[in-house]
Amino acid sequence: MTAAATPATATSARLAELSYFFPAHNEEANLEPLVDEALATLPGLAERFEIIVVDDGSKDATPAIADRLAAAHPDVVRVVHHPTNYGYGAALRSGFRAARYAHVAFTDGDRQFKVADLGRLTVRMAEADRPDVVVGYRIKRADPFVRTAYARVYKLANRVWFGLRVRDVDCACKLFRREALDGVRVASGGAFFSAELLIKLSASGRTVVEVGVPHYPRTAGSQTGAKIGVVWRAVKDFWSLRLRLWSNRGLALRRGEPILSAEDPGTD
């Protein structure tokens, strides 16, 4: 695994196809600005793109705003609705399954990452070694102390217990070759989803590299990642995978739901 911090300037980094998605739970204040940002930015990153909003059981105006944006931009904006709040990992799973194009990227719906900074990832993916996955790491985290402290402990735990040498496991700025996700299964539906995905991608021989990206303070909505229920679910999923890997590694790596939809996504 290597790390790089390449500026997003290379014109050769413009992808042929890109599916961009983000989970949104009660993000009514962030949703439209983020979609507008994506609509303005993605033409510079991909010749053909789509934007997928995953509404994870929002109780505010997020579902209505998402549907209105999809109606206004039917060729590029789509919405996946969860009837209730299934959790962060489940929202990411829905985004991956809805994606149709050869490259898949996501950020969060809270606008703590700029869509333009995905260009740093596309530049790295276009380099000669052609990595399967490019994950961002936050150059300077714009989070409260409790989240930063939790992230440091979590990073160390993943390194010690799984050998996952990624400096920012849960950075919500990632880019994947669709083909690298084929056959990969993840059991977690909570905050451990990203770690489990990276652990299983690495175990399957996929190449994972890192690029530094800026991180911005949340200006609207509220964070949920440090809630006790979210943390407890991640801890349970963490140890479930670790114990299963000790018991039967092959079976543990095959456990869970497929990342990609069983249906041929096509490009129509």
The CATH number of the domain holding residue 47 is 3.90.550.10
Residue-wise pLDDT for 126-160, tens only, equals 999 999 999 999 998 877 777 788 888 999 999 99
Is residue 226 very low, low, confident or very high in pLDDT (cuts 50, 70, 90)? low
Are 217 and 142 spatial neighbours (Cβ–Cβ below 8 Å)?
yes
| Domain that residue 211 falls in | 3-256
Mean pLDDT of the chain: 91
Residue the block writes with tokens 């114990």 = 243
Q: Is residue 261 part of a domain?
A: no
198-219 average pLDDT score: 95
Structure tokens, 47 = 């010749």
Sign of the torsion angle spanned by Cα atoms 179, 180, 183, 189:
negative
When computed from its CA atoms, the radius of gyration of the chain, rounded to whole angstroms, is 17
Task: Give residue 268's pLDDT.
Answer: 37
Contacts of residue 267, defined as CB under 8 A and 6 or more positions apart, other chains included, come to 17, 48, 100, 101
Q: Which of 152, 145, 151, 51 is nearest to 106 (CA)?
A: 51
Please check whether residue 267 lies inside any domain of the structure: no
Cβ–Cβ < 8 Å for 230, 192: no
- 160 found inside a domain: yes
Counting the structural domains of the chain, the total is 1
The answer to the question of residue 264 being in a domain is: no
Does residue 20 lie within any of the structural domains?
yes
Average pLDDT over residues 207-227: 81
Instruction: Kindly write down the DSSP assignment for every residue of 83-123, as one continuous string.
Output: SS---HHHHHHHHHHH--SSEEEEE-TTSSS-GGGHHHHHH
- Within a domain: residue 38? yes
Q: Is residue 268 part of a domain?
A: no
Return the pLDDT at 224: 56
So what's the pLDDT on residue 231?
86
Residue 263: inside a domain: no
